[in-house]
Structure 1
Amino acid sequence: MDVDSGRETPLARRGSPRFIADRPHLVDDAEAALRLGKHVLLRGPTGSGKTRLAEALAERLGLEMESVNCSVDLDLEALLGYRTLGIAEGRTVVEYVEGPVVRAMRLGRMLYIDELNVARPEVLPILHGALDHRRRLTNPLTAEVVQAHPNFCVIAAINEGYAGTSPLNEALLNRFVVFDVPYVQGEALAQLIREATALAGAHHVERFVRLSADLVRASEVGELPVEAASIRALLDACDLSTQMPPLRAVRYAVAGKLSDPREQDLVMELASSYFGGA
């Protein structure tokens, strides 16, 4: 087995890798928009680092983050909170537990809304008042008007063109400034691999960078689905390759996530051109 490591195994590492972009101005520009009181929409394919970028921006701004992961089951309670039974002075009472939106507004935190365009459109208008110049919303669960803390800001992320997504309505989209987050490539990707995975050997890092470029090109021309080019999946393959042959690592981490056998074969054919003898 050709194992290329030289570092601690993934089990020994903690935390998520920092955001690295091959367009250095992306982080600075998004930070500038937030400091100007704008809300930010990150648009890019799955695995391109949108969540890590949001975390990096929260760190730069010194803000705690509240998160909402959207799905077709997202409802007002998931956003605003819910009522539950509690005990006060020996009596059963109805208590209100704040949701992430209300908590972020009240405490001046960053609200990160992942996969915004997966949520049902009828749920999202409750956010309109919080996202425009009013910076407030009326909580239908309590009838309270929640006024946002001056530090409150929102970052939302979307993956366009995926199953289960729908276009954002214009009223909601206009409340954001939009930043595209493409897959990191080239030397920036090599740096990310070195920092975020256990892979240390320069020759294998270079091969994975070139394989990523091939996967991105194949996805751009429709030969592969976009998820085949996921940087998250590539990093998984890099980690696995320190414990097994790289081709097996690519099969498990990249090709195995695809449902079409022809697409799986194409991924492995591309990988074989770099790791055929590994």
Structure 2
Amino acid sequence: MIEYLQKQNVDNKLIEKLEKYRKENGLFDDPRVIKPEFKYYGKEVLEESISALLAGKNILLTGAKATGKNVLAENLSYLFARPSWNVSFHVNTDFSSLIGADTFKDNQVTFRKGPIYEASTRGGFAVLDEINMAKNEAISVLHASLDHRRIIDLPGYEKIKLDPNTRFIATMNYGYVGTREVNEALASRFMIIHMPNITKENLDKLLADTFTKLKEEYRKAFIDMFISLQFKSENNEISTKSVDLRGLISAIETMQIGLNPYDAILMGIANKSFDEFEREIVIDTIKTKIPSQIKESIFND
């Protein structure tokens, strides 16, 4: 992973500081230190996020769909060699689902630890996914953990001080059903990084790294198609529904099984648009890049 940073020309001094942190604090044998399935590509964002985390700060990743927020969070946990816990927020998220609650086990009351409690006491990285889906009263229980106090105050228990290695990485999208504005008190507890749309160059690196046997001509065609859809979305010609990087990757994975590339792209990209007019625009864009029938294999043997 360090070589991956060097290939992206991440500042060498920053890499040296990260390597020092890993040597002093890395938990390489912990089962919760999980190697990410995909690498995040974006020099500036990597430098900003690594710098903030090395400084002991928490970060909030904002931006549109398909900008790689969750991928970046997974990469950061692995780069720092720290165990990670993922919390998916929703309207019913409450104190007990985050911190834990009393439960009855073996004929006695015991405390069932939640993911925030575990990450806080074990020096882990807590990924707070879609943090703007939760109600403010649920988020408020995190305030003392996220600011300079770095404590968890459990009613009926002693205050718990956070491990020095604990970090919080929150993600949020705007415009999804159920999302809301993040309040000022919460935003002030994070360093905020706006995630840009993936560039053509970085998408090429991602697909080349993920699908090593994919023929270059088809990789370029898929990239041109995705960037064209992204451009239409940026100009409000279509919504972001079909600008789905996960969908593109899933489509290529089904092509590896043997599905016709055009049909796979329809499943992974075009069919994400449920408005018929928009779907036709997406399909027309796909047709300009991907033939409906490809007789040869798109992968090298």
Normalising by the smaller structure, the TM-score range is 0.7 to 0.9
Shift of 1:16: 4.5
Aligned to 2:274: 259
Aligned to 1:4: none
Aligned to 2:114: 99
Q: Which amino acid aligns with 2:259?
A: M
Q: Which amino acid aligns with 1:39?
A: N
Structure 2 unaligned blocks of 5 or more: 1-34, 294-301
Shift of 1:198: 6.7
- Seen in structure 2, the aligned counterparts of structure 1 residues 42 and 26 have a Cα distance that, compared at 3 Å, is same
Of residues 248, 273, 277, the one that matches 1:234 is 248
Q: Which amino acid aligns with 2:96?
A: E
Aligned to 1:19: 39
Aligned to 1:64: 83
Aligned to 1:111: 126
Aligned to 2:172: 158
Q: Tell me which of the two structures has the higher relative contact order, counting C-alpha pairs closer than 8 angstroms and 6 or more residues apart.
A: 1
Q: Which amino acid aligns with 1:17?
A: E
Per-residue CA deviations over 1:144-199 (Å, capped at 9, x if unaligned) read 31211111110000011222100100110011011122232212211211222476
Number of aligned residues: 258
Distance (Å, rounded) in 1 between the aligned partners of 2:209 and 2:265: 19
Aligned to 1:122: 137
Task: Supply the RMSD in Å over aligned alpha carbons.
Answer: 1.7
Question: Which aligned pairs between 1:184-263 and structure 2 lie closer than 5 A?
Answer: 184-197=198-211, 200-242=214-256, 243-263=258-278
TM-score after normalising by structure 1: 0.87
Does residue 80 of structure 1 match 2:99?
A: yes
Per-residue CA deviations over 1:23-59 (Å, capped at 9, x if unaligned) read 3121122011011011000112233221121111112
Q: Which amino acid aligns with 1:93?
A: Q
TM-score after normalising by structure 2: 0.81
Percent identity between the two aligned chains: 28
Distance (Å, rounded) in 2 between the aligned partners of 1:24 and 1:61: 17
Query: Structure 1: which 4+ aligned runs deviate by more than 4 Å?
Result: none
- Asked whether the 8 Å contact 2:59–2:190 carries over to 1, the reply is yes
